[in-house]
Amino acid sequence: MKVKIAQSVDEKAWDALVAEASGGHFFQSAAWAALQREYFGVKNYFFTVEDPSVSKPLALMRADRESPLNRWLFEKPLSSATVPLADRLSAEVSVKYGPLYLGSPGRQDKARMFSLLLDSLESHCRSQGVVSLKGAFGSIYGAEEEDHDQSEIKETLQAGGYRATKAATFLVDLRPDEDTLWRNLKQSARKAVRHGREQGITV
């Protein structure tokens, strides 16, 4: 097995693989990567674990590179100069809920593939002058799955000297009707949605 890294991919083909993967989600999609690129100046990296004897990748992982200052600088005057400067001085790479595995690999195979991906990600970051690597590794659906086991992720990260920090992901149950969901939002959130609608934003 070997890892390939690309800065651009066939978006439809990548997203078809994400949809096929167990627990695939939009944070690992090329569509989300394109939005990050267009609106925040983020650079994207696409990692695949491949085996020459198999036609499809065995695992996927997408990462984003940006400076913590990116989103503040991106639409400001002189951003064409300040964004690249901020990137050189304080670039960080983050992974959102990856990797994704295709097929049904066992725990040992997952551990091996994640270790290969992490090694490639670290090596790439060192070669590109990245100062910080962070991630929410593993499945976004872990808390909802009865038989979910991501111990290979935790063990690999601990062995690599990574430090865990507390964070939260909000999973919203969309089964209630729209009026109930709307009432459950904070007033400030409802105001923001109304403001977006007035500006013509649609999803």
Euclidean distance between CA atoms 98 and 60, whole angstroms: 8
Q: What is the mean pLDDT of the chain?
A: 84
Rounded CA-CA distance 139/163 in Å is 18
pTM of structure: 0.73
What is the percent of the chain where pLDDT is above 90? 40
Average pLDDT over residues 27-32: 95
Contact present, 11 and 80 (Cβ < 8 Å): no
pLDDT of residue 77: 66
Given a cut of 70, whether residue 56 has pLDDT beyond it is: yes
Which residue type does 126 have? R
Q: Give Cα 76 distance to the centre of its chain.
A: 26
Give yes or no for residue 146 having a pLDDT over 50.
Answer: no
Q: Where are the alpha helices (DSSP H) in the chain?
A: 11-20, 30-40, 70-73, 79-90, 107-127, 151-159, 178-184, 187-198
Confidence of residue 137 (pLDDT cuts 50, 70, 90): confident
User: Is 50 exceeded by the pLDDT of residue 143?
Assistant: no
The tens digit of pLDDT for each residue in 69-114 reads 666 666 666 666 666 666 666 778 889 999 999 988 888 999 999 9
